[in-house]
Structure 1
Amino acid sequence: MRGWIKLHRKLRGNPVFNNPNLLRLWLICLTEASHKSRQQMIGNQVVELEPGQFVTGRFDLFDMFNDGLTKSDKAKSERTVYRWLEKLEEMNFLSIKKTTKYSLVTINKWALYQQDDKSIDHSSDHQMSNECPTNDHQMSTNKNVKNLRIKEYKEEEEERSPVGNDSPFQQIEDKYLSRRGGGLMITPNDAQAIERIIQEQIPLEDVLVWIDEIFDQYRPRHRADGIKSFSYLEKGILDRWHAKNNQPSNISEFKPKRQQDNLSVLEAYAKENGIKFGGG
């Protein structure tokens, strides 16, 4: 637990900053990550760690998250904490490589944001300084710093560019969270409901349109009322999908049969009562 980490100021403009659980977990990840290449024993297996990586598991992560918290603030289960870790992965903070024994977590852009000036390879600069004037050495150092800033700018631009390849689950989740208007996480029950909708093989564009439609048509009974569960949306989506696939059929083909039945009844009645039926 020795040493320090850097935090970029742009974190304050990220949604994770306003979510205490995600922010706490993100800081745990940063402080757990290795600052240098090293080996770690996991059982009888040696794991090679690079800077910005650490090994963890659901229960270890759960214990670290709850350490020092009051009972009311603690996470309720290890599954919840691991789901938050996966949320950080979805938000491009880190990546997770899962195995049957552990998870290898890699902090994205570790070298860009955590590497200090002493870590930058200036060996060629020092070599040049023995042969070139001091101002040339300073120019070379400034060039390295400038290249690092250009790389940071380009990667930030890539972050702002639309990805366009989110999974159906992610698109449905994002639509639901944006319309719900509160919170950054869904519950396990919400996730199960979304999975059930996906299994129905309902076209994604229909699902997204119907989520908007259900929210637009919802009339809250009071200021604290609202759609708080995806299960509510699930029912509305299934109702619309059923209606779309079971449109009323054309019953005109049955009219001649009904008409013939009615004529038969009238003809029998007329014959029984000696009434002349029909023309001629």
Structure 2
Amino acid sequence: MNFTKTTEQDSNYNHLDKMSINELLTNINNEDKTVAQAVEKAIPNIENLVTPAVSKLRDGGRLFYIGAGTSGRLGILDASECPPTFGVPFDLVIGLIAGGDIAIRKAVENAEDSKTQGWKDLQDYDISDKDVVVGIAASGTTPYVISALEKCNENGIITGCITCNDASPLALTAKYPIVVVVGPEFVTGSSRMKAGTAQKMVLNMITTTIMIQLGKVKGNKMIDMQLSNNKLVDRGHKMLMKELNIERPVAETLIKKYGNVRNAINNYLLEKE
């Protein structure tokens, strides 16, 4: 199948090596300004994926991200931030990368070209039709990702994708494709730039919306966040002070006693009854 990879098209800028530092930074920023507008166009498709994902996770399912290179690393980044931010189990949102964990820091040669390893990696987690699998690939042609989604489709598992090339094999494979066409990169083919930014934005939207729908946010506060450092403990105190109209010493006592903001609020209100 022939399709145009806009992520591989020639940059709109030439003679980058002749530009000043200011020109480089300004031109990169000008390109970046277009990314949010491209993501906006994909909101209906993002909603199409998030809606069944919320239902699956409510029923005990999990969300998997699977990718290679930059795309895989972005999925792992988003997955790894869900437990501390929303207080969910570490295995509710899982990021997988071609080549395994070593590939997070160092590229693993030919890992993304395997047509069997993606499905094997998912099987290590006892993947089932209770789960949702989202393939991430800027190019939309990564065999590791496409083949994994094909097997998911065969096994009745909901599949989505985040890609930056319309009508790509990945977009045509996923049941709920998200395509964000950001156009040529500032440095030709460097999809860690606009494409990577677009993918990160969509990942933020997916998990944040799911977690809010699952009740992990109250008002606009992360009441289930893990209080794992002094900054977050202080944030927890301030949340309690505002929510319960109490002084800091009382908030500090509640956090020490109950461990997190949600438990502190619930128990304080019970004690008041």
Q: Which has the higher contact order (CA 8 A, sep 6+)?
A: 2
TM-score by length of 2: 0.29
Query: Which structure has the larger Rg?
Result: 1
